[in-house]
Structure 1
Amino acid sequence: LLAAAVSGWTLADVEHAAKTAPGMEHYRTRNRPTGGREPRTAAEAAARLERQWAKAQERAVLYRYAPEERQQRDLTQLTGIIDVVEAMLQAFTASPGRWTRTESDLHDSTVLTYLAWASLRSGSLDVGAALRSVAIATGIPSSTVDRSLRRLHTAGWITRRRQADGPNAAVWRLTDRFSTPSVRVGPLHNVTARPPAELFDVRVTLLEALEVRLDAGRHDVFTRAGLGPTARRVYESLTTDEHALEVVADRAGLPHGRARAALARMRRWTLAIATPTGWRRRLQDFRTHVAKQLGVDGILLRREQQYVDERDLWAWWQNHLIRKAGRRGRDRTPTTQVVMFRSVDDHGGPEAYPAYPCSSDGRADHQEAMRFVRRGLLQQLRDLELAA
């Protein structure tokens, strides 16, 4: 399901595949108490598929903007990445005053978590981080991501390896400030490195921990208009197993008083359950239900659509500048509407961008261009140009 969600499948596509796909037998049938399998009812199968599809879509948000995973040849670099990520996760709990004191600190740690995940997944120390991609993956506004990156860079937690240039995002690297180099006594050939099998096992464990943290906190209910970043950090530290308040607070890197207050607030909204021995998450995910009660449901979806529109507008504007320089512009990929005319003009075929809206004095009208983008009218504008 995760591969289907990342590839852009719809629920209808998945339902069609579930009817015959061998790997989706558990959606069609279930185990009998006496042995063998029996068909599920249509309602039960649909409900089960919808629940799992919703989870796959949440995880797909992270993978859709992830760097490409590459095969590891030199394990030295991967070892360094793992050491930095382990030290970073330890620093979040060992020095809570730095990462949880203010709302900005909480955002900084979330952005760092994403950079660590991207570096660990790609196996590269240097990772490209477009502001809007990081914003979508973390659930933080792009302007806040920009400020967090600047603060982290100024403080020396990350270094900028390459400036953003046109369509290319800035490239960042986690510094070794998190980890203290160990003092080696004796010759280097006596130092025993982690065996490859253990190294990859640790990588998988860390990736899972980072993904769970990002997926748990990326939700409408934890936006500023909802329960806020402190509740997000505490929710990320909860599991379906019971843990004492001290354990939850240590995982979140928060003082016990702030963690207790956040847990009490989430308990009122049925996101956390108090037990005689501690606290845990609900077995069922109530985040969307609470978001609807708070009136914040759909904030991240609307924000993501805004970023998509801004990227389309930027690409259209860049194409306009290319044409003004006397070169042929780029085609839109992919087209979002049915092509009506297969004609060709000086700018190309129906997949080319239409002319950018400009006022009578030649100045670009960005507001009018954004209105066209939001209404999905670029193909219609191009069709009108070809038909003229």
Structure 2
Amino acid sequence: MNAEILVVEDTPASLELLSQLLSQAGYTVRPALEGRMALRSAQASPPDLILLDVRMPGIDGYEVCRRLKADPRTRDIPVIFLSALREAGDKLKGFEFGAVDYIAKPYQPEEVLARVRTHVELRHLQSRLEERVGERTAQLLEAQACLQESQTRLQELAGFLQTVREEERSGIARELHDELGQALTALRIDLGWLKEKCGQLGPPVVQRAEAAYGLVERTISALRRISEGLRPGMLDVLGLAAAIEHHVSQFQERTGIACTLTMNREEFEIDEPLATAIFRLVQESLTNVARHAAAQHVAVRIEDGESEIRVRVDDDGCGFVTTSEKKTFGLLGMQERVKILGGRIEIVSQPGQGTRIDARLPKQQGESK
């Protein structure tokens, strides 16, 4: 077996005997007559195995082993002690210093070769294992880096899609309000004039005119509701606080669910993407309450802190199991929206105990506390 063995023995005859024995077995032998020479040799070029005599002048074998194990360059080299000391305490002392084996003198050549072969093979297996672990670790780190890069790209794409979605919503809302809304308003005015003028044509005509007028009124109301759902005009004109107040009021009126709103600012000095995200978070939370919670009361709280804004929505509804794999698109949308802005969101719920949605959004995008 192609392996290099450092033999440390202060008796020249014993050193020569061991060197011949190992050389004939196919090993490369590096002799050393005393401990300091052995340490310098091992540090300069670590061998595969060290055969180390215990009793030597200067520093003995135990001290040599201790220094070898204390040095990162040599601590993994297996050490086999050679000694005429046969007491169990001597052997235990050798193992305590880090030796892998202990051969008592006088020894049989076959025993020495067998033990050397075993530990050299173990050393080679350990080296190969460490190489495999290193390769797998490098592959894992590379895969993690690729995954992180993919996640970053996906998050950037998700943020871009959210921006595009809001822009499309804003465009559609403006078209509905400015074009279709104005046309319906004009039609309502004309129908109102016709309704007043067609009284002499008899009840059937009057009833048809009133029905048409009522249909236009309902259509305008529906148009306003749809337009506000797509992009609340108050958010752009009056700001986040007014838009939230209006939406909460409309939610309460539409659903009959009592809703309290608490804000520590009359207005929030934040940029448009964050304001939109907060409004959507409240909007989606209340939509989920209306659809799934069967709640009697909802509490919405918005707190503007030094570096982040906290949005919390609590309801006293039926709750749900948060560990379930089945999640609504509303919850997934909220989680993704908060994640895109570098924030954190916690959804706490249990069956029969209501639901709490607690989000913390950094004022500076990408800043996460």
For the aligned pair, the TM-score class normalised by the smaller chain equals under 0.3
Structure with greater strand share of residues: 2
What's the TM-score once normalised by structure 2's chain length?
A: 0.23
Whose RCO is larger (CA < 8 A, sep 6+)?
1
Task: Kindly name which structure, 1 or 2, has the bigger radius of gyration based on alpha carbons.
Answer: 2
What's the TM-score once normalised by structure 1's chain length?
Answer: 0.22
